[in-house]
Amino acid sequence: MIEKSARLYKLKEPRQWIAAYAGTQELYFPCFACQAPEPEIAGFLAKGPEYKDILVIDKGDRKYLALICTKCIESYVDER
């Protein structure tokens, strides 16, 4: 369940977000809506205006940062 108080923040320039490094290989955050593994992130849901305030979404078997890819963001905006 997504908190009603969460706000959607759109990025000016969508980009992949690095989650970690495996040696020299970059690993990227997935989209929480479609679980695309390495998408360009177009926005995020947060309680406040800073990246530290991004919501964590519990999808049962896994938890995701509330990052939304370019493919999903417009349909998500329509739902809010």
47 domain-assigned: yes
User: 20 is in which domain, residue-wise?
Assistant: 7-79
Question: Does pTM surpass 0.85?
Answer: no
52 domain-assigned: yes
Number of domains in the chain: 1
75 domain-assigned: yes
37 domain-assigned: yes
d(CA 76, CA 53): 19
2 domain-assigned: no
1 domain-assigned: no
Q: 39 with 70: CB under 8 angstroms?
A: yes
- For 17-68, the pLDDT digits (tens) are 999 999 999 999 999 999 999 999 999 999 877 777 899 988 888 888 999 9
Residue-wise over 26-50: b if at least 16 C-beta within 10 A, else e?
Answer: eebbbbbbeebeebbbbbbbbeeee
